């Protein structure tokens, strides 16, 4: 659930208090019983004589609206004197360090005091304590709290049992006096903000906070100078780089948050995989010539590296196989992350669980640390960035041959003119040759026929988004009788491979050729290692038009024709990232 904030447009105390006086929920436990009420929340708070320090803080704390560009005009004293309905749990004098909060206000840190202290003791609506039940309620700072009426506690803190200071009815809500301050639990986002050891990351994410106005959830007011004035406007708070679960109070996640040293270590470790050039050349089919595009190499390298850190930082506990998130504790989370055989990061759990952090690396991620408990999850503050490239950002790349947009027609040659992109074959239970071992990926493959019986076809495929890392490069080939069981003597493919991985402005490529001529096995779907441990010197990640090119050149002699076919049958190509 997105965090919803309210923006007030009317200025002046009267206008604000009129808005605060809008109708509240009609549930029974929200109904006001004003029979015995003799004053507002503020008046009863002052009259109690039990929370003078709290009132001093409320008098100085501004109801914060400056995030929305609206000048702040009222304090919490005025808010609690208004018709708007609240419940207040006020900490008793002498049970906490009130001067700490007054000093923060003097330093201009109104938002910190408001969120972590003032709003942590206030909730919308009326919770009178008249019903003997345990409730999970949302506080005014969007945090959740347990109000346990049978045990007379709020967030685990005892409420005064003195009848004079328990469940004090007011004309605009109910006042409870606490025996201590209510504990404040930061969200995972706030852990990054409040932990001094993660200040480098916080500095990076700070200017990426955003507010999005949600018109359909907002209440229209009058029209002034032709413009609608919203008296109750809703905004979704988010961050351009953090996932929503880092801030959402109704989520439950775990996070690996690198300390400042680990943050810099991670950047240094990841950036070499995004070694971008300033210019990339590609052949433009429409213009029929080579074209060069410019890239902001240095800034993109840093951006991509930091994006990798955040993509591997958060793990929804709801999505972890075998983990009971409903009974999550510090110890259960610690144990799970130290023993799990795979983890599903939030950035990828919608991708059919394809991208996991696999054992044996899971137990090294936590460094044996005990996580901090946050309001919406658990945070491991790590001293090092312990992820491996091929488990966290240098994922396997699969090029399906039947996806013809990968074909690079400029380098293809000697293909049948009527089907220069090949012919797609779908494999089904009805047409599959059961004598062939193995399965075809995505149940489809591509046939590339020669332009003549004497031709030796060349097929070429773009390999987009490779990183400047090391890969084993495979081709997967299909027997010609994959869907023709009547063909009892299928012929094999025979070919060499060439990888072009860098192009100058004139289109001349750096390249590597296979050291052997490959012959496919006609009894199975055959996976052949074309190039082992090849390290790309440059990254093509995010480069839309330029990519390395992998070509297969048919090899066919007169003596081969009895056992070799010039027609290529290709399932896919796989680039497997190597541990680095």
DSSP state string for 169-227 = EETTEEEEEESSPPP----HHHHHHH-GGGHHHHHHHHTTEEEEEEEEEEEEEEEETTE
pLDDT tens per residue across span 433-469: 999 999 999 999 999 999 998 999 999 999 999 999 9
Q: Cβ distance 365 to 380 under 8 Å?
A: yes
pLDDT, position 213:
66
Q: Of 471, 491, 467, 485, give the one whose Cα is nearest residue 554.
A: 491
Q: Quote the tokens at residue 428.
A: 């089904």
Residue 484, phi then psi, degrees to nearest 5: -135, 80
pLDDT, position 53:
98
- Count the Cβ atoms, other than its own, within 10 Å of residue 69: 8
Contacts of 54 (CB under 8 A, 6+ apart): 45, 90, 91, 93, 98, 121
Q: Cβ distance 529 to 522 under 8 Å?
A: no
- The more confidently predicted of residues 353 and 41 is 41
pLDDT tens per residue across span 85-141: 999 999 999 999 999 999 999 999 998 999 999 999 999 999 999 889 999 999 988
Average pLDDT of the segment spanning 300-312: 94
pLDDT, position 356:
56
pLDDT, position 223:
76
Residue appearing with tokens 């999550």: 328
pLDDT, position 34:
55
Indicate left, alpha or beta for 417 from its phi (over 0: left) and psi (-120 to 50: alpha).
Answer: alpha
Residue 236 predicted with pLDDT over 90: no
Q: How confident is the model at residue 6 (pLDDT cuts 50, 70, 90)?
A: very low
Residue 11 predicted with pLDDT over 50: no
Q: Cβ distance 280 to 293 under 8 Å?
A: yes
Calpha distance 558→220 (Å, rounded):
82
Average pLDDT of the segment spanning 273-285: 94
Calpha distance 103→113 (Å, rounded):
10
* Strand ranges (E), 240-286: 253-258, 279-284
pLDDT tens per residue across span 171-211: 999 999 999 999 999 999 999 999 999 999 999 998 887 76
Calpha distance 271→317 (Å, rounded):
29
pLDDT tens per residue across span 484-524: 999 999 999 999 999 999 999 999 999 999 999 999 999 99
Least confident span in 48-62, 217-231, 287-301, 519-533: 217-231
What pTM, to 2 d.p., does this model score? 0.82
526-529: Cβ within 8 A, 24+ apart:
526/438, 526/476, 526/477, 526/478, 526/479, 527/474, 527/475, 527/476, 527/477, 527/574, 528/474, 528/475, 528/476, 528/477, 529/472, 529/473, 529/474
The average confidence (pLDDT) of the chain is 88
- Count the Cβ atoms, other than its own, within 10 Å of residue 377: 26
pLDDT, position 14:
36
pLDDT tens per residue across span 318-374: 988 889 999 999 999 999 999 888 888 877 654 444 555 655 577 889 999 999 999
pLDDT, position 414:
97
pLDDT, position 319:
87
């Amino acid at each position: 659930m997105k965090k919803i904030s309210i923006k007030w447009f009317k200025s002046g105390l009267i206008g604000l208090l009129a808005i605060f006086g809008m109708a509240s929920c009609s549930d029974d436990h929200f109904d006001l019983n004003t029979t015995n009420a003799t004053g507002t929340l503020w008046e009863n708070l002052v009259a109690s004589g039990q929370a003078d320090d709290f009132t001093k803080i409320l008098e100085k704390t501004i109801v914060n609206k400056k995030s929305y560009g609206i000048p702040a005009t009222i304090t919490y004293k005025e808010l609690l004197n208004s018709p708007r309905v609240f419940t207040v749990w006020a900490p008793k004098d002498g049970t906490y360090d009130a001067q700490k909060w007054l000093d923060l206000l003097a330093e201009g840190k109104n938002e910190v005091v408001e969120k972590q202290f003032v709003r942590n003791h206030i909730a919308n609506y009326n919770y009178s304590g008249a019903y003997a039940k345990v409730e999970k309620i949302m506080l005014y700072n969007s945090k959740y709290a347990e109000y346990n009426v049978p045990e007379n506690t709020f967030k685990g803190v005892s409420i005064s049992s003195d009848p004079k200071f328990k469940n004090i009815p007011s004309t605009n809500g109910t006042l409870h006096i606490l025996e201590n301050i209510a504990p404040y639990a930061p969200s995972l986002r706030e852990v990054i903000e409040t932990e001094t050891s993660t200040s480098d990351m916080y500095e990076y994410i700070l200017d990426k906070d955003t507010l999005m106005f949600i018109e359909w959830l907002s209440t229209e007011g009058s029209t002034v100078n032709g413009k609608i004035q919203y008296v109750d406007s809703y905004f979704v708070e988010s961050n351009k780089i953090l996932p929503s679960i880092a801030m959402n109070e109704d989520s439950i996640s775990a996070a690996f948050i690198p300390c400042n040293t680990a943050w810099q270590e991670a950047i240094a470790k990841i950036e070499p995989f995004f070694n971008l050039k300033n210019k990339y050349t590609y052949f433009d089919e429409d213009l029929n010539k080579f074209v060069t595009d410019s890239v902001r190499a240095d800034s993109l390298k840093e951006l991509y590296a930091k994006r990798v850190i955040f993509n591997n930082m958060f793990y929804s506990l709801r999505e972890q196989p075998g983990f009971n998130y409903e009974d999550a504790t510090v110890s259960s989370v610690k144990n799970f992350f130290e023993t799990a055989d795979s983890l599903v990061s939030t950035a990828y759990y919608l991708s059919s669980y394809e991208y996991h952090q696999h054992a044996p690396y899971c137990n090294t991620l936590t460094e044996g640390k005990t996580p901090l408990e946050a309001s919406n999850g658990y945070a491991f503050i790590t001293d090092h960035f312990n992820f491996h490239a091929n488990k966290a950002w240098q994922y396997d790349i699969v090029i399906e041959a039947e996806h013809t947009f990968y074909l690079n027609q400029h380098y293809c040659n000697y293909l049948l003119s009527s089907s220069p992109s090949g012919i797609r074959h779908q494999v089904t239970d009805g047409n599959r040759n059961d004598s062939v071992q193995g399965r075809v990926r995505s149940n489809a493959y591509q046939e590339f026929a020669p332009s003549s019986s004497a031709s030796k076809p060349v097929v070429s495929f773009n390999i987009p988004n490779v990183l400047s890392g090391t890969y084993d490069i495979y081709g997967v080939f299909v027997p010609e009788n994959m869907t023709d069981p009547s063909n009892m003597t299928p012929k094999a493919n025979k070919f060499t491979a060439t990888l072009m991985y860098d192009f100058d402005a004139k289109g001349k490529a750096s390249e590597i050729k296979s050291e052997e001529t490959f012959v496919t096995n006609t009894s199975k779907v055959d996976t052949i290692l074309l190039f082992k441990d090849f390290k790309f010197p440059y990254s093509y990640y995010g480069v839309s038009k330029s990519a390395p090119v992998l070509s297969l050149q048919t090899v066919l002699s007169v003596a081969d024709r009895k056992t070799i076919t010039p027609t290529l049958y290709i399932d896919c190509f796989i680039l497997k990232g190597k541990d680095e």
